[in-house]
């Protein structure tokens, strides 16, 4: 059974940068897609409102945040992508050093 994680991050409030960020995400690098799938992430969606982004990740049993972070650190192309993305991204106020996307807490679920 897959698990869902929801994360958030802001973009820098600059329409030109936001437009460029959108363009990068219309066709992400194949090495990034491969690293995502290899980590056990089954699907990712990113939503944007103004500067606030919301990411939904569906993961399988192979996925862990720790293993993904370790694999990313060892992958030069992922490091290059993440460094490039920092040009557009702005950490949230409660972000600690080294953090980027923050895990959100689910506070409601419609039960049957």
Q: Which helix (H) or strand (E) holds 76?
A: helix 76-85
Structural domain of residue 81, as residue ranges? Answer: 3-103
Q: Is the pLDDT assigned to residue 25 strictly greater than 90?
A: yes
pLDDT category, 44, cuts 50, 70, 90? very high
pLDDT category, 112, cuts 50, 70, 90? confident
Total domain count, the chain: 1
Tell me the three state secondary structure of residue 35. helix
Structure tokens at 75: 């992958």
d(CA 56, CA 44): 6
Global pTM value = 0.90
Beta bridge partners of 57: 5, 44
> What is the per-residue pLDDT for 47?
98
Q: Is residue 97 part of a domain?
A: yes
- Give the domain CATH number at 45: 3.30.70.1090
- For residues 81-91, give the mean pLDDT: 96
Q: Is residue 88 part of a domain?
A: yes
């Amino acid at each position: 059974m897959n698990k869902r994680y929801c994360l958030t991050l802001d973009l820098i409030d600059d329409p030109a940068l936001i437009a460029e960020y959108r363009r990068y995400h219309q066709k992400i690098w194949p090495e990034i897609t491969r690293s995502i799938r290899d980590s056990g992430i089954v699907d990712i969606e990113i939503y944007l409102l103004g500067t606030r982004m919301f990411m939904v990740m569906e993961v399988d049993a192979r996925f862990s945040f720790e293993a993904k972070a370790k694999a990313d650190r060892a992958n030069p192309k992922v490091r290059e992508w993440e460094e490039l993305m920092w040009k557009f991204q702005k950490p949230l106020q409660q972000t600690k050093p080294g953090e980027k996307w923050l895990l959100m807490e689910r506070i409601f679920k419609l039960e049957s």
